[in-house]
Amino acid sequence: MKQHHSRFGQCIIVAVALMAILALPACSGESPPAMTPSPAGAETSPWPVEAAGVWTLGMNGTVTHLSERAVRAQSVTVVPAAAWDRLGTYLAISPERRAAFVARPRPAESDIFMVDLNDGDSKAICSVTGVIRSIQLSRDAAVLYLWYNAYADARFAECDIDAGTVEAQSDILVRQSPGDWFILHGEVDSSETVTLISYHGANTQGADVLFKQEGGWRHCGWKPLDGLEACILAHGQARFLPGSSTALVLASGSSTLYFFDLIGGTFDELESMIADNHLMRFELADGFATVVGSCGYKPGLARIDLRTTAVEYLSSAICGELAESWNGRVVVAANRRPVPTAGVDGKLQLLDATTGLVTDLVVPSEIVSLAVAR
């Protein structure tokens, strides 16, 4: 495998300092155990199912679970009349609650369904007036954070899981038209006091930052709310470095990611070597930033060591839209193009990062959301 090191000493110093604080784990160097996939389309009795593993949500509302032992596809009782017409963070797993949470986006009203991992039963718990684009579970598994679009407006809300409600005071108008504030991604930091909202609309991009204070969430204030510029310049996702509330990684739409510090406002480069793509998504886990080239542009899979900024080019053949690190593997949602295709089977590709062995797995439909529960 090719190794490439970026030539910016400052970034290395920043990365090493951040990683010392975060204490991200090193790779063990051991090969992951072999798996036994069940035949594609095989009917099994999937319940109960363990929470740990890789989870995918397909365009047809089917959830697929991948464990160390087997791959099993089970249809979730979520009405498939939804707007899963593009990628999003529509899936969250709670080992504590033994539940999966699925967002069903619809133009008029979107719902959150909770699926019991013991028996597969599901029920709607919260709804909002608009199209949900991203969800995240709180650390105590009591709240689901929701980022959604109401027409061109961008909103942020909190779903109380036990009460099954979105309290009015938690439903915040972040941005409103005339800008097209299409939400690409939303997330909160590990302290749950800062949220990032990434945009990719017709005339908007970048990310807004909201800070939690007494009485609610406050916008960064760095850019006027009636303008078309978000708090942070980016083209694609803005994400927190794991464990931090101020250190971010930003997409640029090119092969380069950027470190960004909310306090100092400094930029440093992370070069992925995934060229000739419109890269807007990446994953941060296990001490790496993982980036995959689109099948609609140019294949390629790489991961960047966040401590050293060294990039490991893993494959020139693998392509897809979403990638996750999992137990010594890289899991890729190998969709045919950036916008998921309806009515066709989907595919997961698993790369053993130690041996280079690639395993292809067929899933019931193209994937719109990919999650790992550890």
Mark out the alpha helices in the chain (DSSP H runs). 9-22
Is it true that the peptide bond before 48 is cis, omega within 30 degrees of 0? yes
Gap between the Cα atoms of 215 and 24, Å rounded: 34
Question: Which residue ranges in the chain fall short of pLDDT 70?
Answer: 1-46, 70-82
Strands 310-315 and 301-305: antiparallel
354, with CB counted inside 10 A (0-12, 13-18, 19+), is middle
**C-beta of residue 72 within 8 angstroms of C-beta of residue 364:** no
Q: Which two tokens stand for residue 367?
A: 């994937």
Given this model, what pLDDT does residue 319 score?
97
Q: Rounded distance, CA 44 to CA 33, Å?
A: 23
For residues 8 and 299, the answer to whether their CB atoms sit within 8 Å is no
pLDDT digits (tens, 9 = 90+) for 15-27: 223 222 223 233 3
Q: What is the pLDDT of residue 69?
A: 73
Instruction: Return the pLDDT at 85.
Output: 81
pLDDT at 277: 96
CB hemisphere CA count around 1 (13 angstroms): 18
pLDDT confidence of residue 16: 25
Per-residue pLDDT tens digits for 153-175: 999 999 999 999 998 889 999 99
pTM of the prediction? 0.86
Residue located via tokens 């363990």: 50
The pLDDT, as a whole number, for residue 268 is: 86
CB 24 within 8 A of CB 242: yes
Is residue 87 within 8 A of residue 369, CB to CB? The reply is: yes
